Amino acid sequence: MMERVPIVEMKGIVKVYPDGTKALKGVDLVVYQGEILGLLGENGAGKTTLMKILFGMLQPTAGKIFVKGKEVRFKSPSDAIAHGIGMVHQHFTLVEVFDALHNIILGMEGHGLLSKIDVERARRKIERLMEELNFRVPLDVPVEELPVGVQQRVEILKMLYRDVEVLILDEPTAVLTPIEVRELFRVLRQLKARGKTIIFISHKLNEVMEITDRVTVIRKGKVVGTVRTSEATPQLLARMMVGRDVVLRIEKPPKEPGKPILRVEKLRVIGDRGEVAVKDLSFEVRAGEIFGIAGVEGNGQTELIEAISGLRKVEGGKVYLNEKDITGKGPKELYDMGMAHIPEDRTHMGLILDMTVTENSILGLHWRPKFQRFKGVINWARAREHAQHLIEQFDISAPGTEAPVKSLSGGNQQKLIVAREVSKEPVFIIAAQPTRGVDVASTEYIRNYLVKLRNEDKAVLLVSADLDEVVQLSDRMGVMYEGEFMGVVKPEEVTTEEIGMMMGGIRYEEIRK
Amino acid sequence: MRRSGSSPLINFKPFVESLIAILVGFIIGAIVLIAFGYNPLEAYYWLFIGALGSTRGIASTLKYATPIMLTALTFAIGTRTGIFNIGAEGSFYFGAIASVIFTNLWGNMWFGLLMGMLLGALWALPAAILKVYRGVHEVISTIMLNWIAWFFVLWLIVGPYANPNDPNKTIRIPEAARLPVIGYGLSIAIIIAVIAAILTYFLLWHTTMGFGMRASGINQKAARYGGMNPKMAIMWSFIIGGLLSGLGGAMKVMGEGPTYAISQGGANIYGFGFDGIGVSLVGRNHPLGIILSALFFGMMRAGTALMQVNAHVPLEIIKVIQGIIVITVAIPGLYDLLVRAFRGGVAQ
Amino acid sequence: MNPGDIITILIMSLMAMVPIVLTSVGAAWSERAGVVSIGYEGVLLMSAFFGAIFAELARNALVGLIGGIIVGLLLGMLHGVLTVYLKGDHVIPGIGINLLAMGVVPFGILAYWGTAGQHQLPHDAIMWHWRTPYGEISPMIIVTVVIAVVTWWVLFKTPLGLRVRACGENPEAADALGINVEKYRFWSTVYGHALAGLGGAYMSVDWLGLVHKTMSGGRGFIALANMVFSGWNPLISLIGGWLFGFFEALATWLAPKHIIPGQFILMLPYIMTLIIVAGIIGKARPPKWDGKPYKRE
């Protein structure tokens, strides 16, 4: 075995965002020349933040970075590239109307700014590079016309054209089909054989097991540990990734669920990129039950919720609410039929930040007779009373009902949404990431309230990337992976390790075998 | 008036920003005046006296404020729904020519106003449809529509509706259909315009529809989530905007003697749509702010009469000042910028 | 219509083409970098006015043209600061600039020359023209063609152009590769307005030999229409600009003849542009980040 030279070292990296969020709490990372290092962790663990720091997109609050033993300080990505570090983001940064060749040479076209670009010379150089690495992309087609997997290879080529030695890939398989994943892995092995170093960010256990040499696991802004992949098992990695103490205790009396309120039958939903995001999914949520959906974000949860709540087109299958077919109905009708929805995107969907607390407090129920002076004219006096009532009932701290909602803290904004949705007096409520970015006190309040709704015989669909939350609150839970359930289980009957494996794409039946 | 459920009647920061912009406009205007050898104090004195120093001046202020108030509302209702509708100009032409055409078919004032509004709205429709169904940016489509409207109306002026006795003008509005005059050449148009502004305010801030329009204007995703229909909000925004500018065009012809016709080359109906944008910006795209802002612009225009005669300053100086005001208003976060600069200055 | 008339209309259309093409080319460059402006109407008018003053003072039309460029440059900087650096709205400053021009020019004509609304330039302040029996031809026609071709070439064949287009299509991608998006956007805006400035000065010190308070006559907006019509391509906007110029010339020529009302001919280019942006014929697609401020994460 060749001598192990650290090509990149990060020491004591701390990142505190302007709003006070501590994303990284002193992270040490060592990357060796010529290896594929897996960076494993849940959403929000800090993987991407750490790599954005290494790529010069973010500045660390504290800590040092060494490249080949020398301390460096990157002000921008181009600094990082100059030091041989490149990154391919989850969302590509390609100029869609340019062909691959121009995307690759952009910013280092050679010669003077006003001389003719030597396309043929660039082509020869890229062709040589592709030959060396044994993979190809069409160079003359606008990249927007290329499949996602090929676009990703263009991104990789863009970095290699700049002679980077360390290539960071952020969740590179998230957007790929299984065949494309195989092709990507082949490319990565080729790169490794050429002596390139790769940092592979992922939450998928199987992939990490398959492609990496070592794995560093990050949890809540800290490194849990680093293991050699050959000495690791999926079980071990799952435990490292999610195994942790439960923070909050929730009182949940046992309860027999009633009749099904929401029934989803073979639901098929298409995502923004045209991919099948939800694959013929079936489940039901019963009265007096919290049905949880766990899983790493981006596995179809968002599309599922949007389809159920009338915000996204249903491609196939049916949705029933109280045995009435609601497939394709819009939000207004659904709310009138007893649905409520705490959306995952608080600031862009749940609230209109530039509007007042009052206005936000009646959003989605403003057409109800209660808030109408006569048909079509809003009774703001009533609306203000309503807002005041919600503020008191949920103990929301707000400067007043006429303050813009953006002046409230994240926790109080979220409480306002919960309060409003509950005030719709629903029979079925969707709670998506209900406590994300919310302070501890509000989190506890919101979780207890969801249990209270369940105790009152409402049906609750809880979707959360926070595993503790799903495990604690749910009566039953499905673990979602690439648009399917890897298993529907009772939380008390499985171990966190097993859930972690399901989140990583292993079916429950296989685990139990 | 009662407080709305949403915003105080006059928002402090934007109000101050507009005042600062007006101040900046007058200061730079003064510098220009000095540079060309005029006395700015004298000019501004007569500008003020001309606008407010007599009943005739006030009447003239109100007269000039009327059309731009309505075109400003068109722009404002667009902005509030998240679109940049600069098509008021085209709808204004159509409102004007509609009043000429239809009052000559039936000499009824209300009929003339109604048809003016309808044709104004009709002319706003293509931009609305292109925006909602084909994603065409409204700035491009409305610029095109304005010019098409302009040439079309120009042709109507010299062609089918030319006055046989005075071929440079259109036929006149029949006496029965003219707007009643209050005095000093001021018609009831100003009252109708103010009512339109108040109704627009009421629509935007007190109705379910207006709530949907404003919500869509800020955040379409949240509006859809809230059970609203952003596409329809945009459609209505164009249509109502067209109604308002059409009304403005009709009243410009039906309410202003002695001609009661569209004059040579459309000179008396040109440019109000564009001026309205400035009025709306200074009025911070708020219908009630627009009443004040339109009155201010009207004052400046009315005051030029005495300023020209007594201070011998060309009336165009007010456009210079207005341009500066609009550019100043366009500085993002002007208030915060000034506060910071001021604090920084004090600290040193 | 005899052959002589056709040549006359052709020459007229070429002369009319110049300000439209220059402005279209400039606007196309600026929008390719991602900065929208609707203030070109005001730029044309103000540079026509100040260009004339420069030309008169120097007794040289060339100085007038340079003066026009400087006016465009300064207004472009104003627009660039507001939109690129202060991240303000891209449309509003243009409204202010247009309004300003509508004041500055009539006021200036009266205050500077003491005439109302119009001023005739002395002969030595007007550009030399090649006189033919069918009309006068300005050397600026050739300059315009050269500028359009060179701008096209730079935009599509050189690293500079590639980077400018990247800033308008995906500033994030450009930024990640070390391209200073703000700098490219700012100077693109300045270039765009400077070309319009040249076009404006051409109108007064070259084409018409006079200053009139409404002499821009909507050409700033026509140029924007032409830019869209030409798919943000300087080379095509040469053809498009000539077409707009041709319709203008044709309408002028037809006006006294009462065959087809000139207004309908003048309307045509706008209708065609509208049809094109609606995607009924072909598809005109603006740069993806056109008119959107770019802020780094």
Q: In this predicted model, what pLDDT tens digit does every residue of C54-88 receive, in sequence order?
A: 999 999 999 999 999 999 999 999 999 999 999 99
For residue B218, give the nearest of A335, A345, A354 by CB distance.
A354
Looking at this protein, which amino acid is placed at residue A310? G
Positions in chain B whose pLDDT score sits under 70: 1-11, 344-348
Parent domain of C73: 3-280
B-chain residues near C98 (CB < 8 A)? 274, 323
A62 has a chain C CB within 8 A of its CB: no
Cβ proximity of B309 and B75 under 8 Å:
no
Q: Do B154 and C263 touch (CB under 8 A)?
A: yes
**What structural domains and CATH numbers belong to chain B?**
14-29+40-347 (1.10.3470)
Q: Does the beta-carbon distance from B143 to C225 stay under 8 Å?
A: yes
Q: Are the C-beta atoms of A83 and A70 separated by less than 8 Å?
A: no
Question: Min CA distance, C239 vs chain A (Å)?
Answer: 24
Question: Scanning every residue of chain C, which has its alpha carbon at the shortest distance from the alpha carbon of A112?
Answer: C159
CA dist B219 and B33 (Å) reads 45
Overall pTM surpassing 0.90 (yes/no): no
Chain B 204-263, CB below 8 Å of chain A: which residues?
206-209, 211, 214-215, 218-219, 221-228
Residues of C in contact with B158 (CB under 8 A): 261
The CATH number given to whatever domain includes residue C158 is: 1.10.3470
pLDDT in tens, C171-219: 999 998 889 999 999 999 999 999 999 999 999 999 999 999 989 988 9
pLDDT at C282: 52
Residue A139, pLDDT score = 94
Q: Which residues contact B332 (CB under 8 A, 6 or more apart)?
A: C82, C86, C87, C88, C89
What's the rounded Cα separation, in Å, for the pair A96 and C285?
Answer: 13
- Cα distance between residue B23 and residue A261, in whole Å: 63
Query: Using a CB-CB distance cutoff of 8 angstroms, which residues of chain C are in contact with residue B275?
Result: 99
Q: Is the dihedral of CA B177, B181, B185, B191 positive or negative?
A: negative
Is residue C155 within 8 Å of C161, Cβ to Cβ?
yes
Contact (Cβ atoms closer than 8 angstroms) between residue A228 and residue A65: no
Min Cα distance B141 → chain A (Å) is 24
Tens place of pLDDT per residue across chain A (513 aa): 445 779 999 999 999 987 677 889 999 999 999 999 999 987 778 888 999 999 998 999 999 999 999 999 999 888 999 999 999 988 888 999 999 999 999 988 877 888 999 999 999 999 999 998 888 899 999 998 888 889 999 999 999 999 999 999 998 887 777 778 888 999 999 999 989 999 999 878 888 999 999 999 998 889 999 999 999 988 888 888 876 544 556 778 888 889 999 999 999 999 887 889 999 999 999 999 999 999 888 889 999 999 999 999 999 999 999 999 999 999 999 999 999 999 998 888 999 999 999 999 999 999 999 999 988 999 999 999 999 999 999 989 888 899 999 888 888 999 999 999 999 999 999 999 998 877 777 888 899 999 999 999 999 999 998 888 899 899 999 999 999 999 999 998 988 888 888 988 889 998 887
Helix axes C234-254, C3-32, angle to 10 degrees: 140
A376 touches chain C (CB under 8 A): no
In a domain, C259, yes or no: yes
pLDDT at B257: 80
Tracing tokens 């995952």 back to the chain, one arrives at A344
Euclidean distance between CA atoms B257 and B181, whole angstroms: 9
Tell me which residue in B4, B218, B227 faces A380 most closely, judged by beta carbons.
B4
The structural domain count of chain C equals 1
- Report if residue C39 sits inside a domain: yes
Q: Do C100 and B324 touch (CB under 8 A)?
A: yes
Q: Using a CB-CB distance cutoff of 8 angstroms, which residues of chain C are in contact with residue B324?
A: 96, 100
A366, A372, A401: best to mutate for the B interface, most B CBs within 10 A: A366
Helix (H, G, I), strand (E, B) or coil at C87: coil
What is the pLDDT at residue A483?
93
B271: left (phi over 0), alpha (psi -120 to 50) or beta: left
Q: Which chains touch C (3 or more CB pairs under 8 A)?
A: A, B
Is there a contact between B6 and A335 if contact means CB atoms under 8 Å apart?
A: no
User: For residue A423, what are its two tokens?
Assistant: 């005030």
CA distance B326 to C102: 13
Q: Is residue C273 part of a domain?
A: yes
Distance from CA of B254 to the nearest CA of A (A): 33
Please tell me if residue B123 touches chain A, with a CB cutoff of 8 Å.
no
**How many angstroms separate the CA atoms of B302 and B300, rounded?**
6
In this complex, do C178 and A103 lie within 8 Å of one another by their Cβ atoms?
no
B-facing residues of C in 18-47 (CB < 8 A) are 36, 38, 42
Containing C1, the helix (H) or strand (E) segment is: none
Q: SS3 letters for chain B?
A: CCCCCCCCCCCHHHHHHHHHHHHHHHHHHHHHHHHCCCCHHHHHHHHHHHHHCCHHHHHHHHHHHHHHHHHHHHHHHHHHCCCCCCCHHHHHHHHHHHHHHHHCCCCCHHHHHHHHHHHHHHHHHHHHHHHHHHCCCHHHHHHHHHHHHHHHHHHHHHCCCEECCEEEEECCCCHHHCCCEEECCEECHHHHHHHHHHHHHHHHHHEHHHHHHHHHHHCHHHHHHCCCCHHHHHHHHHHHHHHHHHHHHHHHHHCCCCCCCCCHHHHHHCCHHHHHHHHHHHCCCCHHHHHHHHHHHHHHHHHHHHHHHHHCCCCCHHHHHHHHHHHHHCCCCHHHHHHHHHHHHHHC
Provide the pLDDT for residue A166.
95
Distance from CA of C261 to the nearest CA of B (A): 7
| In the predicted structure, residue C283 carries a pLDDT above the cut 60 | no
**pLDDT tens digit string along A318-348?**
999 999 999 999 999 999 999 999 999 888 8
Q: A106, A108, A157: best mutation site toward chain C, by most C Cβ within 10 Å?
A: A106
- CB-CB under 8 Å, C288 with A78: no
**Of A59, A51, A58, which is closest to residue A8 (Cα–Cα)?**
A51
Tell me, yes or no, if B133 comes closer than 8 A to chain C by beta carbon. no
Neighboring chain A residues of B221 at a CB cutoff of 8 Å = 345, 348-349
> Is the pLDDT confidence value at C280 over 80?
no
C287 lies in a domain?
Answer: no
Residue linked to tokens 């195989």 = A182
Q: Give the number of A-C residue pairs with CB atoms closer than 8 Å.
A: 73
